[in-house]
Amino acid sequence: MSNPSELYPVLIVGGGMITREVVLPTLFQLQRAGEIGEISICSRRGRTLAGLREMYPNQPFLSYPEESADPEESFPDLYKQAIEDLPDGGMVLVATPDHLHTPVVLHALRHGKHCVVQKPLCLKTDELFAIKKAADADAMYVLTDYHKRHDPALRVARHRFRKGDLGEMLHGHAWIEERREIPFKHFALWIQNSSPFEYVGVHYVDAYYYITGLKPRKVIAFGQKKLLISHGKDAFDAVQAVIEWEDSSTLWVQTSWVLSDNESALTNQGLMLHGTEGEYWADHKARNCRFITEKDGYEDYNPNFFRTYDSWDPEHETDVWGYGFESIAQGVRDIISLQRRTAGLGAGEAREARRQILDALAPKRALPEQALVGTSINEAVRLSIANNNASVIFNERSEPRLAG
């Protein structure tokens, strides 16, 4: 194992549900394996960090704000200091609410820090172009964590489609819906700034692009506000969109985050694709694995996303594994490789070497050019709903605008 002081440190910005349940245990495991160095976490409020320390009492990390801070005081700009304090070679994992990604990413890039960002990269195409411009200027790595790309059930769909087994795409149907604990418990402070489509529906938007390589041509969207608004939360319960792609194929995406809390899994999800030569259909919730216990009742269990297993290592009891782990680990390992391969070079040489490495990675990573598809469709969905379900088309830069 490497000396921890010689390993690259990692800063997480954001301490919410995805950090608690996926990002942080992933990084602890990478740290334990000697792949990364010190971990820091920046959140707006000290109480969030106190909750993380309670969950992980034996795992040290630096905290912003410090433990002595008032647990209820808000520090909205503290991420700037946390980024500026990050030593050379440190990387930033952005796990804030969706609408707050852009300023964090741009500040990290201004200070020479590569980033892994929870999907979607941002919510507006003008923000994405600002991120892309900043990243391109100094050949910096910015990966959007679309973990569904690492789901074996989607990777095999891409492989078989690109072999020609499905022929030309005709249409598809994706569904991804979550229990109401998401807006009522986990995201209660910011759900009005997002929607179930932007938060999780974008996974399947990206999946269709990832599988087919197609770009969007037109979007028509619909949204409903019934349950949440009756509880004083001005946010969508459900959003649906039909996307026409450049080959005239279509994808219907239905999303919701107000399923009953008695639903057998947090997320009900799946994908159907129909081509001229074949069909793909997968229920991504029902993996034919279930538990029934006195504690939790009936559970449809997905063993592939992000789960804890007995460790193969005699020194450790458990490991985390799954496509949620692999997606974050891929970004972290890319950054480590990028920095090691350019170590010792002058600034100009290092920049050009990074550019060549990123060009090689670009076809197989959700770097900003690929992240543009999800962002532009998210923006188009909002624009369509705001204009009575109008058709939205895209210009040559993939920027959405009303048709006609």
**Pairwise CA distance, residues 317 & 203, whole Å:** 32
Q: For residue 6, what pLDDT band results from cuts at 50, 70 and 90?
A: confident
Sorted by where each starts, the structural domains of the chain and their CATH numbers stand as: 4-148+310-367 (3.40.50.720), 152-303 (3.30.360.10)
**Pairwise CA distance, residues 160 & 166, whole Å:** 7
Length of the chain as a residue count:
404
> How high is the pLDDT of residue 178?
98
- Residue 255 CA from chain centroid, whole number: 16
pLDDT of 112 strictly over 90: yes
pLDDT of 3 strictly over 70: no
- 2 burial class (0-12, 13-18, 19+ CB within 10 angstroms)? exposed
pLDDT of 254 strictly over 50: yes
pLDDT of 359 strictly over 80: yes
**Pairwise CA distance, residues 99 & 103, whole Å:** 9
* Burial letters 178-201, b for 16+ CB under 10 A, else e: bbbbbbbebbeebbbebbbbbbbb
Distances (CA, A) of 85 to 24, 61, 78, 114, 135: 20, 14, 11, 14, 20
Structure tokens at 55: 């969950």
HEC letters along 114-161: CEEEECCCCCCHHHHHHHHHHHHHCCCCEEEECHHHHCHHHHHHHHHH
**Pairwise CA distance, residues 232 & 212, whole Å:** 41
| Residues 368-385, mean pLDDT to the nearest whole number | 98
| Contacts for 302 with CB less than 8 Å, ≥ 6 apart | 265, 284, 285, 287, 289
The whole-chain average pLDDT of the chain stands at 96
pLDDT of 108 strictly over 60: yes
For residues 381, 382, 383 and 388, what is the CA-based torsion angle, rounded to 10 degrees?
90
Structure tokens at 279: 């069909």
pLDDT digits (tens, 9 = 90+) for 256-298: 999 999 999 999 999 999 999 999 999 999 999 999 999 999 9
- 348 burial class (0-12, 13-18, 19+ CB within 10 angstroms)? exposed
| Residues 166-194, mean pLDDT to the nearest whole number | 96
> How high is the pLDDT of residue 125?
98
**Residue recorded with tokens 């692009």:** 209
pLDDT of 97 strictly over 80: yes
> How high is the pLDDT of residue 2?
45
Structure tokens at 280: 């793909």
> How high is the pLDDT of residue 5?
53
Strands 250-259 and 267-275: unpaired
Nearest residue to 373 via CA among 190, 192, 219, 157: 219
> How high is the pLDDT of residue 67?
85
pLDDT digits (tens, 9 = 90+) for 217-242: 999 999 999 999 999 999 999 999 99
pLDDT digits (tens, 9 = 90+) for 296-349: 999 999 999 999 999 999 988 999 999 999 999 999 999 999 999 999 999 999
pLDDT digits (tens, 9 = 90+) for 61-95: 999 999 888 888 999 999 999 999 999 999 999 99
